Chain A
């Protein structure tokens, strides 16, 4: 299943519910384009909910990093929510857990972004 992104707004925080695969090609492109669109619309606080991400490869991890740096370069914030065990393992292996703020509670994550 290719990547599907559903966007919810909680005050000034945008929660992006990601579902499917983040892999080289369409998956990474969908995420990149969505983040850019939302930044152009003036948004700056993003929470990526990865609970339904079934598969991510190194290109997908790279796209998460690109999203993080793109948002940060626009003086915004991007945090991660609900990592699956596999995604968590990959972030640990690649030491990207030192880059991202990761939450298991949406309430806490949103609170940290306000």
Chain B
């Protein structure tokens, strides 16, 4: 095993879409310092982007008094991303399948599908504050993960 020392990156933001620039910079810094290539970095960025927007808009309803917590943990073999909001909860199964013919022309509802397509594991649970805790996990090598 070349390296199994984890790097942990964390950011807490107010629930405002203007904060997405900071989220982008945070992900860029994490992927660069983890030594990931451009393609992997792009899909991590997209997954964090989608889940952070969900947390701000659907979780915290853009309430500036509530925060979103982001954590990216990486080593040579895996990536774990955790996004927590302080909202009222969100059920992934409540999102209609955007690929169904009756939903295909809807303008929204594709974020979770995109995340699931890239990640190996996507779990939703309750955060300490009672909001949502989204955990995404991706293996990037053949070795033991995190």
- Give A residues with C-beta under 8 Å from B: 23-25, 55, 57-59, 61-63, 65-66, 68-69, 86, 90, 93-96, 98-99
A57 touches B98 (CB 8 A): no
Chain B residues with CB below 8 A from A63, complex form: 107
The stretch among B75-83, B111-119, B126-134 that forms the contact with chain A is B111-119
User: Interface size bucket, B side?
Assistant: 20 to 34
CB distance from A33 to the nearest CB of B (A): 15
Contact surface of B with A, Cβ cutoff 8 Å: 17, 20, 42, 46, 49-50, 53, 98-99, 104-111, 113-114, 117
Number of A-B contacts (CB under 8 A): 50
Asked whether, in the complex, the Cβ of A94 is within 8 Å of the Cβ of B53, the reply is no
Give Cα A63 to B20, complex, Å.
19
Is B108 a contact partner of A90 (Cβ separation < 8 A)?
Answer: no
| Interface pair A99/B49, CB less than 8 Å apart | no
Chain B residues whose C-beta falls within 8 Å of the C-beta of A90 in the assembled complex: 114
Query: For residue A66, which residues in chain B have a CB less than 8 angstroms away from its CB?
Result: 107
**Chain A residue contacts of B50, Cβ below 8 A:** 57-58
B28 smallest CB distance to A (angstroms): 12
A57 touching B105, Cβ below 8 Å: no
Bound CA–CA A99/B117 (angstroms): 19
A59 pairs with B42, CB closer than 8 A: no
Q: Which residue of B lies closest to A92 (CB)?
A: B117
Other-chain residue from B17, B42, B49, B114 in contact with A94 (beta carbon distance below 8 A)? B114
User: What are the 6 closest A-B residue pairs judged by CB atoms, nearest first?
Assistant: A62-B107, A58-B110, A95-B99, A58-B111, A93-B117, A66-B107
